[in-house]
Amino acid sequence: MTYYRFFLLIIFLSISVKINAQQEVKTGNPILKEWYADPEIVIFDNTYWIFPTFSGIVKKQDFMDAFSSKDLVNWKKHENIVTPKNVAWINNELWAPSAIEKDGKYFVFFSANDIQTPDSHWWDPQKHDSTEVGGIGVAVSRKPQGPYTDHIGKPLIGKVLNKAQPIDQFVFKAKDGIYYIVYGGWGRCNIGKLNDDFTDLVPFEDGQLVKEITPENYVEGPLMFYREEKYYMMWSEGSWGKDSYKVAYGVADRPFGPFDRIATILESDPNIATGAGHNSVLHMPDTDDWYIVYHRRPIPNEHRNHRVVCIDKMEFNDDGTIKPIKMTFEGVGAVPLISNGKK
């Protein structure tokens, strides 16, 4: 009997060690080992997907890769899902993807060509003119990993409206069933309604294509999500190339706001990294578990474009406000997805 009990104890301890080892598996930060930024994270087909910007010099930033994972820890790279070969009007600076599935198709919205106007800080008459083609485009595929093709053959939003540069788009489906696009650089943010096949914007009742919803201190990188009957808007402040880059947020009853600024929730930490911003969020199905996926600048920083993609836990207070987010080197624990889309 003693030997039998000892044998059972050994088995129990062995199982416990294995369970604890599984629980201790962490993503680590960064979760993608190369230089990437502006990450969009989604769940497609019971798989995590990250669509980021390649963080290189402008002349080499004309393609997009994607990454897939079943557990947030192990990531597979899918190269060149969007390039000038399949979107002919792209000629430089391809960045800030937003991905969404609709009717069995996968759409990647992207910014390209960095168009300028005479009243912008970066306008250079030797480099720019008012006929430039660029702005926010749409690519489509039957598979999340692509390859993607140009959906409409031209930019979806190719003009500066309400003084907002057409960049940094985020697309989401609101509780009213309408698909909205939120976007904007140069310190201005617009929202528009997408038509059913994502080929154009649907004008509002007053005839406007977009409405301005710029919150206090907004610079770029907007996103929205819905939680407990409220719309949360997050955005980046400061300068993307400096330590001042950070994330703030506001809350409203509808996607048009107003989004009064509540607080900064993610910012530089001299013990971890600097320049944390341009984030997305991951909501685990059927739970109230949330994660923030963002880019930051490692210390020491090797280059203006030395940005890496990281993940950390995002938690809420009882009143619905978001707790300040602590950047970590450990990241978060593995969260496997199984066939029914649940943990």
Q: Catalytic positions, please? A: 38, 220
Question: For 38, which DSSP code?
Answer: E
Residues of 329-339 as b/e, b for ≥16 C-beta within 10 angstroms? eebbebbebee
HSE-up of residue 317 (Cα within 13 Å, Cβ side): 7
277 contacts 295 by C-beta, under 8 angstroms: yes
Closest CA to 310 of 21, 18, 32, 14: 32
Contact 231, 224 (CB under 8 A): yes
Structure tokens at 78: 């899918």
H-run or E-run covering 156: none
Sign of the alpha-carbon dihedral angle for 31, 312, 223, 249: negative
CB count within 10 Å of CB 42 equals: 17
Residue 275 burial (CB < 10 Å; 0-12/13-18/19+)?
buried
User: 236 with 259: CB under 8 angstroms?
Assistant: no
